[in-house]
Chain A
């Protein structure tokens, strides 16, 4: 299987642990990816104003690059990029009037009709690889690791682009189970981490993220697996602020789902860049004998 790969801005800087682990894992699973040439920022959030088409231009350009490259499927790793590209694609496919306006505006580009398949690695693993095949490729089962799946918002909402049910998603549960982990379900899995309100209302974002982590640990989770670099920031990086603000707060290791994937596939720890996660993330894997003891 050969497909286009759209990285997005954050994966090239803050989230190397997401990108490197995912690329190595996809290679090991026989998914051949080719990074889009000249990709640009997707805009991070899909424009919700009906009269604002200019912000749809950036993601549509990326989708035109996919066609130019000769591919019909593009895989994303960041859930925000997935959502923005998928919604722009949905609009171009289903709204003839806006499609015409956008195509006319981009007169230097070929017309685009929404015919690229925009996927996230998680639905690619489910629909194109399958959990049974994945299970067979696992060499280091994540035995005894109690992980809670955390979806956040943009993989599940709105329904037009959701990779799974908005209320009762299963994709991460099945994924983690295939890796041999003990999956811990908790209601906070589909709740919002506060996203960009880390800029506008940092206290509110901190508080909702803290609620999610508390909920997960109450249900017996030792760690969280997620797909979005902004969720990772709010739930992971911001734990320092939470630890000093909320009494009795328990530190929780946060992993990108691709780090756990690469680990279970036995690809090697280097591509996982666990040094970019909280130190406790490495400690937990060591106590479960999933990492080399050295270092």
Chain B
């Protein structure tokens, strides 16, 4: 097992600890306990970042070659969001909502079948395309955790209750604004990622979209989240409807990302077929055989 995987496993264990500790704190009515809040998520983020860097160095490129790396990268963007939230008093408990997701995502990414070596090196534009796409999924993940917070807080306030969780969660107005911001950021990242991807695909194959299920999937997501943004800003979509829509959108991503990647001829784990060597005999002055790929 590579060092990168060891660090990634450390990060996953820390996410698990954060999730369990959050539940413990909640049951203990958020009183200060044996661990200062934020220490474990910070260790997890550091280990996760290190794992990603080591992987990148071992490949000599951005770690986006297979589904293990995709999971690790998306998890890292979520972890980055949770660490940033730690520095904002009213948002710091977002980490508790993200940690179970990070733990499960990490465990899933560790399935050995997902970590297949890529035979053919990827073109450079793919790094840019994948990075933006993964940042978008990370932003949608953070938006969905925030949406869950909104639903809990809204429900407590409507039920005229002020229990321990209500007291530690931020005001509904802030949660909603943050979720909207993340939704906007995610859609912007996805737009850039899609533009880079589609153009790169066209330049390489001469086809804009073709029959690739992954491209259709990503375009569907883009349309869905763009419509959500329009509904929010133009038609003043209600808070609860927006929160549920974001949550459903991200659950859809989680449930279909790996399946569509497997089915796609250009994405995911399937090692790209080595390009058939097209041998063309070009008569040279010294009768050498020239191979053109």
**A complexed with B:** no
